Amino acid sequence: MMGKKRSFKMTRLTAPAKIGDSTITIETKDVDLIKGDRIAIPPTDLQYDSGETRDVVEYNKDTGVITLDKPLEKYHFGAEKSTAEKYSGVDIRGEVLSLSRNIKIIGEEVDKWGCQILTSDIMQFDGTFLEGETYLDSIEIQYGGQKDTRHAAIRFEGALSKKQNVKNCAIHEGPGWMVNGLRSKNLNFENNVFWGGNQVGVGFNMVMSTRFHNNFVGWVTPRNDLEAIGMATLDVMGGALFCSLTYPSPCPGLTITNNIAAGTVQQGFTGPAHDCEKKNINFHSNVAHSISGGFSGNGFIVYPDPSKPQHKECYEVSNNAAYKCTDAGIFTNFPSKRV
């Protein structure tokens, strides 16, 4: 399924956006906003729940001014120029995300279910083997997944035969997980926005050859109602969790690069370390910010890769960045002789 490509996924605030403001100003390069588009404005402070979602009333492509459908309730940092020179290559200006696509899959709230796309390989009763395949490009999914379960808006379970692709999509404002990959391989997620999930943004467990590149994961809140008290103890909370819920089951072939997790409860990313004194080619160039709540507030939790026995002797953590986290920017505390 392919929609019309948008020219931008994310831009930055070029001026501070203050409480009560009904306009924001952004970098204009490649921005194709129109009236009625939905946008997300992630937090720029320490609180994971300071992000906001608004509709565009008007966009001036010459000045970069967006008129919002209602005033802001939080402060969001912006500046005319990138802060990368000051902060080791990290631009801490507030992001503005595009959530609208021309093909929309919108779930209806029935018994706390939203819409769901499930891909799997199955054997039919007559012995016929069916190979599941999903290709989504520039699609919008709103209100996907099921509350208080791991039944995500996009699910891969036992999808082993074909390559799966989710690119340039916006998955937002659902009652549960946004993505769940389980016992699958050859999953490719690129240039997507995941905004507004519950407990876990995207989770991958017992997967192989999975690529997660240039995505944004934000506004992930905890399960906090009475029905979820039991489930809250079963799932670790966070933005983008790779093979943490089934650790130490190995997940060989993970590539997690150039992503942002912002405004997620408890942790931004969980992922594997790399070999000591070797170039990090699998889990690098990611940024986590505005992480708090839950049991901690870590930007990254990095573990020794269970698919690599040598990590019992030494593993290395490098080349990711975190800021405005209430606990550690990067945390690791696993058995090994040297870290």
* Res. 233: pLDDT tops 60: no
Phi and psi (nearest 5°) for 232? Answer: -60, -25
- Domain ranges in the chain are 103-331
When pLDDT is averaged across residues 286-302 and rounded to a whole number, the result is 95
- C-alpha distance from residue 276 to each of 103, 161, 252, 305, 308 (Å): 45, 33, 17, 12, 11
Residue 164 has pLDDT above 70, yes or no: yes
Q: How many residues does the chain have?
A: 339
SS3 for the chain is CECCCCCCCEEEECCCECCCCCEEEECCCCCCCCCCCEEEECCCCCCCCCCEEEEEEEEECCCCEEEECCCCCCCECCCCCCCCCCCCCCCCCCEEEECCCCEEEECCCECCECECEEECCEECCCCCEECCCCEEECEEEECECECCCCCCCEEEECCCCCCEEEECCEEECCCCCCEEEECCEEEEEECCEEEEEECEEEEEECCEEEEEECCEEEEEECCCCHHHHHHHCCCCCEEEEECCCCCCCCCCCCEEECCEEEEEECEEEEEECECCCCCCCCEECCEEEEEECCCCCEEEEEECCCCCHHHHCECECCCCEEEEECCCCEECCCCCCEC
Tens of pLDDT, residue by residue over 26-56, are 999 999 999 999 999 999 999 999 999 999 9
Compute the distance between CA of residue 137 and CA of residue 169 in angstroms, rounded to an integer: 6
What is the pLDDT confidence band of residue 286, given thresholds at 50, 70 and 90? Answer: very high
> Taking residues 288-299, what's their average pLDDT?
94
Question: Confidence class of residue 61 from pLDDT cuts 50, 70 and 90?
Answer: very high
Task: Write out pLDDT tens, residues 108-158.
Answer: 888 778 999 999 999 999 999 999 999 999 999 999 999 888 999 999 999
Q: What is the pLDDT of residues 240-281, one digit of tens each?
A: 999 988 899 999 999 999 999 999 999 999 999 999 999 999
Read off the pLDDT band of 231 (50, 70, 90): low
Contacts of 53 (CB under 8 A, 6+ apart): 38, 39, 40, 41, 99, 172, 173, 195, 196, 219
**Strand order, beta sheet including 38-41:** 10-12, 95-98, 38-41, 52-60, 65-68, 23-25
**Res. 295 pLDDT band, cuts 50 70 90:** confident
Lowest mean pLDDT among 87-91, 106-110, 218-222: 106-110
Query: Which two tokens mark 29?
Result: 């390069």
